[in-house]
Chain A
Amino acid sequence: MTLPDNDELVALVERMAEGDQDAVGPLWDALSPWVHAALLRTVRDEDAAEVLSRRVLVEMWRVAPLWDQHVGRPLLWSLALARSLAVQWLDDRRRRREDGPATTPPTKAERAAARDASSIVGQALAAMDPADAELLEAAWCHHPVDEDGVRVADGSTLDGPLRAFAAHLAG
Chain B
Amino acid sequence: MDRCRDLRPLYGAYAAEATSREDAMRIQLHLSDGCAACAVEIEQLMEAFHAIPLGFAPVEAPAGSRQRLLDEIARTPQEPRDVPVLFPEADRNRLWKVLAALSAVAVAAMAWWGASVNKQVARLEGELSRAGMATTVDTRSLERQIAEMQAVLSNVAVPDARILDLRGEAGDPEGRLFLDVQGGVATLVITPLGAPPEGQLHHIWLLGDEPRLLGRLPPQVSAQGGHIRMRLDPAPTEGMTALLSLDPSEPTPTKPGTGVLSTPER
CB–CB B76/A165 < 8 A: no
CB–CB A77/B16 < 8 A: no
| A 56-96 contacts with B by CB, 8 A | 57-59, 61-68, 70-73, 75-77, 79-85, 87-88, 92, 95
CB–CB A165/B48 < 8 A: yes
Q: How many A-B residue pairs have CB under 8 A?
A: 198
Q: How far is the CB of B36 from the nearest CB of chain A, in Å?
A: 14
Q: Which of B48, B79, B144 has the most CB of A within 10 A?
A: B48
Chain B residues with CB under 8 Å of A145's CB are none
Q: How far is the CB of A73 from the nearest CB of chain B, in Å?
A: 8
The DSSP consensus for interface residues of chain A is helix
Cβ of B13 < 8 Å from any Cβ of A?
yes
Cβ of A25 < 8 Å from any Cβ of B?
yes
Task: Tell me, in angstroms, the Cα distance from A156 to B68 when the chains sit together.
Answer: 41
CB–CB A61/B76 < 8 A: yes
| B 1-44 contacts with A by CB, 8 A | 9-13, 15-20, 43-44
| B 129-182 contacts with A by CB, 8 A | 144, 147
Cβ of B89 < 8 Å from any Cβ of A?
no
Task: Tell me, in angstroms, the Cα distance from A111 to B15 when the chains sit together.
Answer: 23
Q: How far is the CB of B155 from the nearest CB of chain A, in Å?
A: 16
The DSSP consensus for interface residues of chain B is helix
Chain B residues with CB under 8 Å of A137's CB are 52, 55
Given contacts A24-B69, A24-B73, contact A37 B56 (CB under 8 A): yes
Q: Which of B49, B94, B97, B106 has the most CB of A within 10 A?
A: B49
Of B12, B48, B60, B97, the contact of A36 (CB 8 Å cutoff): B60
Task: Tell me, in angstroms, the Cα distance from A46 to B10 when the chains sit together.
Answer: 34
Cβ of A159 < 8 Å from any Cβ of B?
yes
Of A58, A121, A163, the contact of B69 (CB 8 Å cutoff): A58
Q: Which of B16, B55, B97 has the most CB of A within 10 A?
A: B55
Of A53, A66, A140, A158, the contact of B61 (CB 8 Å cutoff): A53
CB–CB A70/B97 < 8 A: yes
Cβ of B50 < 8 Å from any Cβ of A?
yes
Chain A residues with CB under 8 Å of B50's CB are 76, 79-80, 83, 140
17 contacts between A and B (CB under 8 A): A21-B73, A24-B70, A33-B61, A36-B58, A36-B59, A36-B61, A37-B56, A37-B57, A62-B76, A62-B104, A66-B100, A71-B98, A81-B105, A122-B56, A159-B10, A166-B44, A166-B48
